[in-house]
Chain A
Amino acid sequence: MSPKRIMIIDDDATSNMICKMIISKVLPDIEVTDILHPQRGMDYIKDNFKENSLPICLLLDINMPDWSGWDFLDHFIELPDYIKNKFTIYMLSSSVNKEDLQKAATNTYVKDYIEKPLSKMAIERIMRDA
């Protein structure tokens, strides 16, 4: 089932605003939540996801203070399976560093890597593949 919700975890408020606006243009019915701090994102997930929660797509930035996207994933793997199974995770980053791309490709929980800016084509791909 395609996710009806998208969560963005990124410390760049401008990028989040751009993402929300482009998603609303392409998929007006999708609910988008953005969170600036990865730790708060993790708390939000723990507090809000139950066994009957709907699937969700997570767009996760890499370079953030305190916790990077990779640190977030280290904590994500500790979550119960019924929460993890709700998530389709995409790394969304300005980085075009080959090491970041390889790291994303080898992480079991990462579906794909998307270079910023989030484009119409990338959103359509997410909805098709998630």
Chain B
Amino acid sequence: MAHITPNSCIPDNTTLYYTVLLDTAGAYLSVNAHYKAHIAPKLSAKGGYSMLQDLQTEDHQVFKEAIKACLSNEEVPQQVLLRMTDAEGDMLPIHWEFSVSTSVSGASIIGCQGFAVRNYYNIIEKHKALISQLSYNQNHVYRKSVANILGVLNLLEFMPLDEHSRSLLHIIQEHTVLLDKDIRAAIDLFHNQGHVSNAIS
């Protein structure tokens, strides 16, 4: 484990990176000026409260798991996207890297370096919404019509038809089944893409 002091690698006046030192319970030990100004203006020089208080509730568990993973495997930094609540009360997504270090007093501490990914996060969210809408359309709009055509074709199987009509119906059936297969393949693709988006964000 490397011995570090707060903000040893990043200039104190950075406006790009957030640097935070936490104890192993997730409470602040120190933060850089950029973090203090944007996220934790009320944080005293002594630190003290948990970083959880500056996180959106939905990401509390993600934070706890990242700390746990960090402590259980100290050699591997943990990358995690956390939705913070900024000083204005708005959501600010920050991509963090957490790693365990040793303080000058010999205690284990967690060093966190992060940067805001608001634009990237917004793109991913729009992407997820689009995938969700496309998936809905495939399942409930396009497939609904295809299912009704297939239903009518099933009914026609019970009816007396001349050979010519029967062969034309088989062509319609063959192509409707192909269309149904394509819709199902698209649904599977959207399903998998949705999982990729969730994993990224």
Contacts and interface: CB of A to CB of B under 8 A. Distances in A.
A125 interface: no
A71 B76 CA distance: 45
A124 B123 CA distance: 48
B192 to A, nearest CB: 10
Interface residues of A, number: 21
A96 B151 contact: no
B139 A22 contact: no
A12 interface: yes
B142 to A, nearest CB: 9
B140 A63 contact: yes
Interface stretch (B48-56, B89-97, B98-106, B152-160): B152-160
Given A12-B148, A18-B154, A96-B184, 20 more contacts: A15-B144, A18-B151, A18-B152, A22-B151, A94-B139, A94-B140, A95-B140, A96-B139, A96-B143, A96-B187, A97-B139, A97-B191, A100-B139, A115-B147, A116-B143, A116-B151, A117-B148, A117-B150, A117-B154, A118-B151
B155 A94 contact: no
Contacts, number: 55
A117 B151 contact: yes
Most buried by B among A15, A21, A96: A96
Nearest to A99: B191
A128 interface: no
Interface of A: 12, 14-15, 18-19, 21-22, 25, 63, 94-98, 100, 115-120
B154 A120 contact: yes
A115 B146 CA distance: 12
B135 interface: yes
A95 B140 CA distance: 6
A22 B154 contact: yes
Nearest to B142: A94
A94 B151 CA distance: 11
B185 to A, nearest CB: 10
Nearest to B145: A94
A108 to B, nearest CB: 24
Contacts of B139: 63, 94-97, 100
A15 B155 contact: no
A96 B152 CA distance: 19
17 contacts: A12-B148, A15-B144, A18-B154, A25-B158, A63-B139, A63-B140, A94-B140, A96-B139, A96-B184, A97-B191, A100-B139, A115-B147, A116-B144, A116-B148, A117-B147, A119-B154, A120-B154
